[in-house]
Chain A
Amino acid sequence: MPQEHFRHIGKSACRRGARDKVTGQAMYVHDLEMPGMLYAKVLLSPHARAEIVSIDLAEAKALPGVKAILTGEDLPYLLGLYMVDKCILARKEVRYQGEPVVAVAAIDQATAKKAIALVKVDYRILPAVLTLDEALEGKILVHQDINQLDYIKNVFFPQPDSNIASWNKTIKGDVDKGFAEADFIVNNEFSLPAVAHAPLETHVAIAKAHPLSKLVEIWSSSQSPFGVRQMLSKAFGISMGDIRVVVPYVGGAFGGKAGIHLEPLVMVLSRAAQGKPVKLIATREEEFNQLPSRAGMRGRVRSGVTNEGKITAVEVTFDWDSGAYADYGVNVGRAATYSGAGPYEIPNIVVNSRTVYTNKVFSTAFRGFGHLETHWVMERQMDLIAQQLGMDPYEFRMKNILHAGSETISGEIITKYSGRPDQCLEAVAKEIGWTGWRSPEARDDAFKTGKVRGKGVAALQKAPAIPSNTSTSAIMQFDDEGNIRLMLGAVDMGQGSNTVMAQIVAEVLGMPLNKVRVIWETDTDKSPYDWSTVASKYTFMGGNAVIRCAQDVLRQMKELAAQVLHCPVDELDHANEQIFHRQHTHKAIAYKDLGMGYTYENGNGIGGPIIGRGVYMAEGLTYLNPQTGQGLPALDWTFGAHGVEIEIDVETGDITVLKIASAFDVGKVINTKLCEGQIIGGVLQGLGSAIMEGHKFSPDGRLLNPSFTDNKIPTAKDIPTQFVPILVENPQADGPYGARGVGEHPMISVPSVIASAVYDALGINFYELPLSPEKIALTIAKREADLKGQQSALQKE
């Protein structure tokens, strides 16, 4: 693509909505109040698995101010994005500690809380399934009725009479042949725990659902207003025409607010309360304990490698500890089959990805959609193979990395427009001054000082995990002053999509940025459709839709101007907010005189108002072959890499990240500051997973850390000394100005690169996350004790 001078593309335009946010004017669903609004509270199950014997609501019902109380028995509906396995409130059985059992709507929060405290539930505790191995053994079924559950066939594969919600596979080439060709085989197992999204705004929803009018209105802190509309229709059998979902500002989401969560519950409560608006705000405890997390996962991988360092075969099984309900978890499991091997050429591969039910809080989409987890497994494996080869891990990766002409594990051919993982890896290695692993002698010398340093590199890839027919759309219209109002279906939850879209419109139309207004609130009745704001797809898809929308407006303006100026449309050009004749430039009409139609001097009006539209539907994507996982699922690949230098206090186990360089081939940067913001924020979230985050469960399946007191996320004191975001630009030919997405990618491979640097520093490999000070310190202490024991044994001889 030729080097163009852009007016807005590539510039760091100020973030839309920032003024509202810094003045406290931005209204989130947390802040919304409506006349007559009731407040809801839920009662959570104290047990991981139990039969609900009886529920006594008498006292709670009698409390003045209580307007509705519901239990699972009142709600014979089943929900599920892919596996229809979940009740709105537990019926007959609770399947995780934290599952909502009873819900109350009352005149204020205090009354609702009191009412919940008056509810008496009698449980018969049942033995629970709490680990992957217990679940796979299948002696106890989390869903006794798994064989009867409805699900999307040929995409997900629940196994009968088991706890496997779906077993997805990729089979490419011939692994037996591949292993036979290998000079040696490396086998390893890695794991990582469930992790909380921890958005600052907890889940919250308001519903207004009059029992007689059928109309349902929902306000939700959600990434998926159109998805919520569809799911509510499906679950309750009501027409989508009667459902409206509104999303104002959203206080963070990270995948946890995709799909459907509190909305069905507030809807049924509102119906039960004669249509009064009902608001349910998750407390922070409920955010951790009731609402879903990222899944825990265990990966067992076997790799065949030649002595020269070429991978000949990989066999990997990802087992996802996905909790009590399938939600998005099964799709995360599925995505691992076409993307779960890292950005490498692997001629022969079998991927088994099993989404497994356990009696714990269930999992949903989380930034990275399984890729942080699979890259923990695969990037660690790359390091371990390199160690066995005696090869530089950077060189080993470069030897196998995807390039133009490579075939991915789902059979897609990478082209010169797909992006350059090798350039990303090279850039980060250079930034941290990578010269290979240090020698054991250097490590030992450093160890004596008590503080050791290490460097590491890791690569990554992700394409959006979306249905093959995903689409998005945009509408725009003028006002008399020539301002544009742009309406989008995606939700700007802080990633900056509204800003990016405005820049693109302003670029196409050659307008000042401040004349392009993006309508903030997403309303399924008024906004054009977008499937869901997830998957790092919106810059790509929305950008294309918005370009088409702006071009549609240009075309309409030119057609109108051609009539007025008496010339063919193709002789018209646009600049300075005018349509003008290429040659006779004085023949010009301003946008503002066309946008609302043109009015002649004699009063005749024609051609307006001009309404622009643009749509983008994912092109050419296919379903995956149910047996082999082959197909074309990837809209666009974004490749990346991290390079890190860390310092470890060998006695306390504290890791300090001195420098982390993170490179992503984004195709074309639309807004540098926003892009860097996504990178720095995502890398820190990845560091959280690497060093401190994780759900902890008691032996009977209770969540032990449902609060920020013990579920720690990074603070300002936990940041690396230096972040170096690097933006690589090899254009995506079908991307808007060549751009690709990058929202999720910064998190991926961060834990892997930290573990890589830990190995460099200590010569110790870690296989489980998080790399807490405790884990590091005790592992070192054990090694030192073992060494001492060996030495004294030697001395005795």
Chain B
Amino acid sequence: MKVSLTCRVNGEGVCGTIEPSMTLLNFLRHDLKLFGTKEGCGEGECGACTVIMNGVAVNACLVLAVEAENTEITTVEGLSCGGELSTLQSEFIKQDALQCGFCTPGMLMSARALLDRTSDPTETEMKEAIAGNLCRCTGYVSILAAIASTAKTEREGEGRK
């Protein structure tokens, strides 16, 4: 039996009618057509489905859509603002922190969540924040560089969040 769902996604109020068993990941992709968030394993192991829910990074494949009732969700589509890339996205491009791009949305969200809770993360904190985001292409070095350079830019009050 379907139920109604109300939440905010990327700053916009959203309403839906869904099966209770639907995951947040499928709701974002199939109902809202926000395809940026990816399914890599469906089991919370790879992090490709990472979104920010009420300020914390979560694997959307392990959250039921109904659990997102009255929450604020941010996906990769919500990172850019006013038609401009955020600093984080620009730094990812500058540092070449991506190759095939499939892990990238989830990686960006884990990075964003990290920088939202600490403006000067240590290398250990950065690695811990993205250890749950598997990348088979880059070797992670450029990703860590992009997070560090974003942190620096944001600390200096420059750039766009």
Contact = CB atoms under 8 A, between A and B. Distances in A.
Physical contact A–B (CB less than 8 Å) = yes
Interface of A: 12, 14-15, 17-28, 30-31, 197-202, 249-254, 283-284, 493-496, 673-674, 677, 680-685, 707-709, 713, 715-717, 719, 723
A224 to B, nearest CB: 16
Given A18-B96, A251-B38, 12 more contacts: A14-B93, A15-B99, A20-B101, A252-B100, A494-B98, A674-B96, A677-B139, A685-B136, A707-B41, A716-B130, A719-B139, A719-B140
A201 B144 contact: no
A197 B96 CA distance: 22
Contacts of B128: 717
Contact of A719 (B35, B37, B141): B141
Contact of A27 (B35, B80, B134): B35
Contacts, number: 160
A22 B139 CA distance: 17
Contact of A22 (B85, B130, B133): B85
16 contacts: A14-B93, A21-B101, A23-B77, A27-B35, A30-B38, A199-B136, A200-B103, A201-B40, A254-B136, A283-B42, A494-B100, A673-B96, A685-B136, A708-B41, A708-B43, A723-B139
Nearest to A710: B45
B152 interface: no
Contacts of A680: 138-139, 141-142
B35 A31 contact: yes
B41 A681 contact: no
Secondary structure call for the B interface: loop
B14 to A, nearest CB: 16
B50 interface: no
A495 B137 CA distance: 8
A201 B76 CA distance: 17
B7 interface: no
Contacts of A494: 98-101, 137
B64 interface: no
Interface string B43-74: 10110100000000000000000000000000
A24 B93 contact: no
A681 B43 contact: no
A683 B137 CA distance: 10
A366 to B, nearest CB: 12
A491 B76 CA distance: 25
A18 B98 contact: yes
Interface in B87-146: 89, 92-94, 96, 98-105, 108, 126-128, 130-144
Contacts of B76: 22-24
A673 B99 CA distance: 11
A30 B45 CA distance: 18
Contacts of B144: 716
Given A24-B75, A709-B43, A715-B131, A201 B38 contact: yes
Nearest to A202: B40
A200 B102 contact: yes
A21 B37 CA distance: 11
Contacts of B131: 715-717
A717 B133 CA distance: 11
Contacts of A21: 98, 101, 104
8 smallest beta-carbon distances between A and B, as pairs:
A24-B36, A251-B102, A21-B101, A494-B100, A494-B99, A680-B139, A708-B45, A24-B76
A643 to B, nearest CB: 17
Given A249-B101, A284-B43, A723-B141, A677 B96 contact: yes
Nearest to B104: A21
Contacts of B101: 17-18, 20-22, 26, 249, 251, 494
A23 B85 contact: yes
A30 B104 contact: no
Nearest to A254: B136
B34 interface: yes
Contact of A683 (B75, B132, B139): B139
Most buried by A among B45, B46, B136, B140: B136
A202 B100 CA distance: 12
Contacts of A14: 93-94, 96
A495 B89 CA distance: 19
Nearest to A251: B102
Given A15-B93, A18-B92, A23-B85, A201 B100 contact: yes
A203 to B, nearest CB: 13
A600 B94 CA distance: 44
B113 to A, nearest CB: 15
A674 B142 CA distance: 11
A25 B38 CA distance: 12
Contacts of B133: 716
Nearest to A715: B131
Contacts of B80: 23
Given A717-B131, A719-B140, A15 B96 contact: yes
A741 to B, nearest CB: 16
Given A22-B108, A708-B43, A717-B128, A15 B98 contact: yes
Contacts of A24: 34-37, 75-77, 105
A30 B141 CA distance: 27
A249 B99 CA distance: 11
A327 to B, nearest CB: 21
Contacts of B103: 200
